[in-house]
Amino acid sequence: MTARSSLPFDPIAEARRQWEAHGWHRAAPGMALVTSVIRVQQLFLARIDAVLRPFDLSFARFELLALLSFSRRGALPLSKAGERLQVHPASITNVVNRLEADGLVRRTPHERDRRTTLVELLPAGRDVLAGAMAALNEEVFAHPGVSLPEARAIVDLLREIRLGAGDFEEGGSRLP
């Protein structure tokens, strides 16, 4: 839900000015940070939605297809997929329901543990993902609106916020 008309000034800088003018000095930088993140998320999601529309995918559905494609068997337990994508069980269920209705994934019982439900990527899902991946990589991810070093800097800074919020544990990083 982003409006496209350009303002003659930076609305977040203006909001910070208001915060300072009201004496909320300790809160002003955080307000600007939170508001900036929310706005840039809207801008990115609008671009992503536009690119994914021809593939009839939301970003959440794209993310699940990608995650399954990265797994060795093209299948993951439903609960594990939800944890990895950091979404509520209800959300992952909705995402899987929609992908299953579209014939892109299917639920199967785990061969050794029948209580575990696996989500399996189907060939049609792999095809749709390939097209969506190429389009997203080319049209959004390769052109995020900042330079490569700047993108890395933002990722590193935001990582601290994710870490502080308990998203993951530092010691267990799989990267050096």
What residues from 23 to 62 belong to the interface with its own copies (CB under 8 A)? 24, 26-34, 36-45, 48, 59
| DSSP-derived secondary structure for 67-116 | HHHHSTTSEEEHHHHHHHTT--HHHHHHHHHHHHHTTSEEEEE-SS-TTS
Q: Which is nearer to its own copies, 114 or 165 (CB)?
A: 165
Selected from 12, 98, 100, 117, the binder of its own copies by CB under 8 A is 12
Strand partners for 119: 76, 107
Which of 17, 53, 107, 110 is close enough to bind its own copies by CB under 8 A? 17
* Closer of 124 and 130 to its own copies (Cβ): 130
Residues in region 101-130 near its own copies by CB under 8 A: none
The DSSP 8-state label assigned to residue 29 in this structure reads H
Helix (H, G, I), strand (E, B) or coil at 42: helix
Binding to its own copies (CB under 8 A): which residues in 149-168?
150-155, 157-168
Mask 132-151, x = binds its own copies (CB under 8 A)? -x--xxx-xxxxxxx-x-xx
CB-based contact 140:48 (threshold 8 Å): yes
The contacts of residue 164 (CB under 8 Å, 6+ apart) are none
Cβ neighbours of 65 (radius 10 Å): 26
Binding region for its own copies (CB under 8 A) out of 15-23, 98-106, 108-116, 117-125: 15-23
The only residue of 49, 50, 56, 70 in contact with its own copies, by rule CB under 8 A: 70
How many positions of this chain bind its own copies (CB under 8 A)? 86
